[in-house]
Amino acid sequence: MTFQQLSFVVEVARCESINKAAEQLYTSQSNVSNSIKSLEEELGIQIFLRTKKGVSVTAEGREFLSYAREIIEKKDFVENLYAKSHFRKQYFSVSSMRSYFLSVPITNLWSHISGGYGDTIYIRLKKQSFFDVLDDVQHCRSDLGVVFLTKSHQQRIQRLCGVKNLDYSLLGESQISIVLRDDHPLLTEEGAEAFEERVVEFPYVIAENQENFGRFYDDSSRSIEELFQTPPKCVISINDSAASQDIVAHTDSFFISSTQWQHPDHYQFSSVPLRGEDNLLTHYYVTRKGQERHPLADFYIEELKKMFDKL
């Protein structure tokens, strides 16, 4: 499988015609057709149905296209990133287990950026798993990482950071909470036990790029495992956190947050902490040992600390 084959597939799907796609790609129709046929044979799937009127995407082709577009977009991103040297010089990247922690410091970032970063600075915020965050910092893909663990697994970060030559520092603690709209029917129930027993009757919203139903967080939580002993009757998976909040705001659905709700007031949400000590999370920031920090890293860390002081 090559980038060229992926580009051919994406363009044919867009044009709904091999001939039109070949024109747009400045190549021959036979080159496009043979390349896609070779790819289909290699993968053992049929991406397109070919008719006299053109082509249409098969069901398995639609799934493949979602991956192909993502790969092409990432390739274009890397090429554009390194096409101009000033992007490399003015580059700040943060990886975190929760998008919430990514966005909080950005709201106060501009006053620092406007002070002395030349014409351009490129800031990248990434939502990752626990291990991916550590790998990003270790291999210089991110300047800063933010992770959390349950208290029963706190020794894990000490062990892994020692192996990966990373420094870690405490940010604060929070409680795993269920978030739902203020007038949700469950909030009229009496007692936390009744609440946790009935919550799986309502739609559960997962705001993740990739989800594993058995692992709602990267660090295993007994409270979450007990909560989902009976799977929710409906699971809504979406990779846009803002859209997931809109769904919860207008339906009887819910989502799980690693902190009590701290988002803007226009979302009328309530947070219900899960019972038990196992719902307590300890948060850390991670940096490369012995390496000079990016000028924005210290500011970012201070803003995170302010956030946890308010929790």
pLDDT digits (tens, 9 = 90+) for 257-308: 888 776 666 678 988 888 777 788 899 999 999 888 888 888 899 989 988 8
Contact yes or no for 153/219 (Cβ under 8 A): yes
145, pLDDT greater than 80: yes
State how far the Cα of 217 lies from the Cα of 133, in Å rounded to an integer.
14
In this predicted structure, which of 17-21, 146-150, 206-210, 224-228 has the lowest mean pLDDT? 206-210
219, pLDDT greater than 60: no
**Under CATH, which architecture does the 177-273 domain have?**
3-Layer(aba) Sandwich (3.40)
In this predicted structure, which of 3-12, 57-66, 223-232, 249-258 has the lowest mean pLDDT? 223-232
Tokens 């036979």 belong to: 30
b (16+ CB within 10 A) / e for 209-237: eeeeeeebbbbebebbeebbeeebeeebe
Q: What confidence category does residue 212 fall into, taking pLDDT thresholds of 50, 70 and 90?
A: very low
Provide the whole-model pTM.
0.67
Please, which residues bridge with residue 235 across strands?
204
Q: Is the dihedral of CA 78, 83, 88, 91 positive or negative?
A: negative
Intervals of CATH 1.10.10.10 along the chain? 3-81
> Residues with Cβ < 8 Å from 228, sequence gap 6 or more?
200, 216
What CATH superfamily is the domain 85-174+281-310? Periplasmic binding protein-like II (3.40.190.10)
Q: In whole angstroms, how far apart are CA 46 and each of 33, 58, 68, 70?
A: 13, 7, 14, 19
pLDDT at 89: 58
Intervals of CATH 3.40.190.10 along the chain? 85-174+281-310
Question: Could you tell me which CATH number the domain at 3-81 has?
Answer: 1.10.10.10
38, pLDDT greater than 80: yes
pLDDT at 170: 93
